Amino acid sequence: MRVLLTGGAGYIGSHTAAALAERGHEIVILDNFANAERDVPARLERLTGKKIPIIEADIRDVPAVVAALREHPVDAVIHFAALKAVGESEADPLLYYDMNIIGTIRLLQAMQEANVTRIVFSSSATVYGQPDSSPILEDFPTRVENIYGRTKLVMEDLIRDLARTKKLKAAANLRYFNPVGAHPSGQIGETPRGVPNNLMPYVSQVATGERPHLRVFGNDYDTPDGTGVRDYIHVVDLAEAHALALEHIVTNDVSITVNLGTGEGTSVLQLVTAFETATGRTIPIVIAPRRPGDVSSYYANPALAEQTFGWRAKLNVEDMCRDSWRWQASRAGINDI
Ligand code: NAD
Ligand code: UDP
């Protein structure tokens, strides 16, 4: 297949590009580089050994997207391009409605104009809000708890509506749990701007010495060790899931909404220990108050993905820590892995 990846130069998009190339698909990337490094395409070409067309454009620019789709006729689009910071979405709602919701509408218009009728969409487990319990199944109620989450739900609904009314032949809404890790080649990974909000990038930067210690946000949750539990998923497993979901919906012309997680909950302290074991580095911690808005425990029931397109995560938390560290260490010029 030939596939256009919006946001394909970003963290999850670049790993998915590598996974698709490995499975013999052709890739075209459309990205405005708002949150991607300029050398990602060259790194991807080194990694895959393939020439990858890159279109520098904004998904809201319908003529540019139509032109890209006409120049590179594709079987499907995988839509990663979005803004993804919860705090920023609350500070600037219109920016998020514009980039995410208007951006997705414009992309869907361009696809309609170019007669592209299949899409895989990056949704998020954030659509479940504070769930009543875990493991979380796809039919749990959705809840909006912040503007980023609202944009994900609206985008999912737009895509489901177009599938229901047969404007799209096939669609997959993929609800990611907590993506972490990096490609084992060390060529691509996540580069957060400024102080990381998320646990794994923060821990990695403590390991390089860029930050003195990790603040553990709360140790009085109702979890085995009192710290927050999440379902971390290796980005390489997540990327493979995109390839399998895409192949499934295109082959069968169906529309699906599925969780992508491992089904395993890992606490903050367990992740710190796994990181120390995998890397041989010590992570100093300080117990801090709970972070507002955090849920105590949150993990997927990923059975539907396995039943539907035969995917299950293969990599464990130590793999995630080792690969995150390899990437972060190489960025920091440390050579001990
Ligand atoms: P990312 O920021 O690394 O990648 C997004 C890419 O889209 C970037 O390369 C950016 O330059 C590009 N982009 C942004 N706005 C654009 C626009 N208007 N036009 C063209 N390109 C644009 O983020 P990521 O972590 O790879 O996330 C990819 C998708 O997965 C997003 O939709 C995000 O909401 C979703 N998601 C991410 C996580 C996570 O923890 N990383 C979890 C759940 C869902
Ligand atoms: N966390 C922490 N210190 C940090 C960042 C995160 O203790 O510096 C905790 C956070 O409270 C949560 C878990 O790590 O329990 C995962 O947080 P992250 O922001 O990575 O994911 P999310 O909460 O969005 O699922």
CATH number of the domain that 13 lies in? Answer: 3.40.50.720
Average pLDDT, the chain: 96
Q: What average pLDDT does this structure show over 219-236?
A: 97
- Ligand 1 binding pocket (C-beta < 6 A) is 6-7, 9-13, 31-36, 58-60, 80-82, 84, 99, 103, 122, 124, 176, 179
> 152, 203, 291: which to mutate for ligand 2, most atoms within 8 A of CB?
291
Strand-pairing partners, residue 120, are 78, 172
Identify the nearest ligand to the CA of 223 by its number.
Answer: 2
Nearest alpha carbon, ligand 2 atom 15: 228
Q: What average pLDDT does this structure show over 122-133?
A: 94
Is residue 317 within 8 A of residue 266, CB to CB? The reply is yes
DSSP state, residue 300: B
- The count of domains in the chain is 1
Whether the model clears a pTM of 0.95, i.e. scores above it, the answer is: yes
**Is 266 among the domain residues?**
no
Is residue 28 within 8 A of residue 74, CB to CB? The reply is yes
Q: What average pLDDT does this structure show over 91-117?
A: 98
Give me the amino acid identity at 230.
R
Is residue 101 within 8 A of residue 230, CB to CB? The reply is no
pLDDT band at 54 (very low <50, low <70, confident <90, very high): very high
pLDDT band at 337 (very low <50, low <70, confident <90, very high): low
Is residue 278 within 8 A of residue 326, CB to CB? The reply is no
Write the pLDDT tens digit of every residue in 153-211: 999 999 999 999 999 999 999 999 999 999 999 999 998 888 999 999 999 999 999 99
User: 336 pLDDT exceeds 70?
Assistant: no
Nearest alpha carbon to residue 107 among 11, 41, 171: 171
Can you give the pLDDT at residue 294?
Answer: 86
Can you give the pLDDT at residue 293?
Answer: 80
Nearest alpha carbon, ligand 1 atom 4: 10
Domain holding 135, by residue range, is: 2-180+233-260
Nearest alpha carbon to residue 261 among 127, 120, 133, 136: 136
Nearest alpha carbon, ligand 2 atom 24: 198
Q: Which residues contact 283 (CB under 8 A, 6 or more apart)?
A: 203, 206, 207, 213, 214, 272, 275, 276
Q: Which atom of ligand 2 is nearest to the CA of 216?
A: 7
CA–CA gap between residue 255 and residue 173 (Å, rounded): 8
**Is 8 among the domain residues?**
yes
pLDDT band at 212 (very low <50, low <70, confident <90, very high): very high
> 148, 178, 199, 205: which to mutate for ligand 2, most atoms within 8 A of CB?
199
User: 9 pLDDT exceeds 90?
Assistant: yes
**Is 121 among the domain residues?**
yes
CA–CA gap between residue 261 and residue 233 (Å, rounded): 6
**Is 289 among the domain residues?**
no
Write the pLDDT tens digit of every residue in 272-315: 999 999 999 999 999 999 998 888 999 999 999 999 999 999 99
**Is 252 among the domain residues?**
yes
**Is 209 among the domain residues?**
no
**Is 239 among the domain residues?**
yes
> 4, 11, 88: which to mutate for ligand 1, most atoms within 8 A of CB?
11
Query: What distance in angstroms lies between residue 288's CA and the mean position of ligand 2's atoms?
Result: 12
Pairing of strands 255-260, 214-217: unpaired
Nearest alpha carbon, ligand 2 atom 1: 199
Write the pLDDT tens digit of every residue in 228-284: 999 999 999 999 999 999 999 999 999 999 999 999 999 999 999 999 999 999 999
Can you give the pLDDT at residue 25?
Answer: 98
Pairing of strands 118-124, 255-260: unpaired
Helix ranges (H only) for 168-264 are 199-207, 235-252
**Is 295 among the domain residues?**
no
Q: Which one of the listed residues 148, 176, 202, 299 is annotated catalytic?
A: 148
Query: What distance in angstroms lies between residue 125's CA and the mean position of ligand 2's atoms?
Result: 14
Query: What distance in angstroms lies between residue 251's CA and the mean position of ligand 1's atoms?
Result: 26
Q: Which atom of ligand 2 is nearest to the CA of 215?
A: 3
**Is 148 tagged catalytic?**
yes
CA–CA gap between residue 310 and residue 248 (Å, rounded): 9
Q: Which atom of ligand 2 is nearest to the CA of 291?
A: 11
Q: Which atom of ligand 1 is nearest to the CA of 14?
A: 26
Identify the nearest ligand to the CA of 192 by its number.
Answer: 1
DSSP state, residue 312: -
Query: What distance in angstroms lies between residue 124's CA and the mean position of ligand 2's atoms?
Result: 16
Identify the nearest ligand to the CA of 295 by its number.
Answer: 2
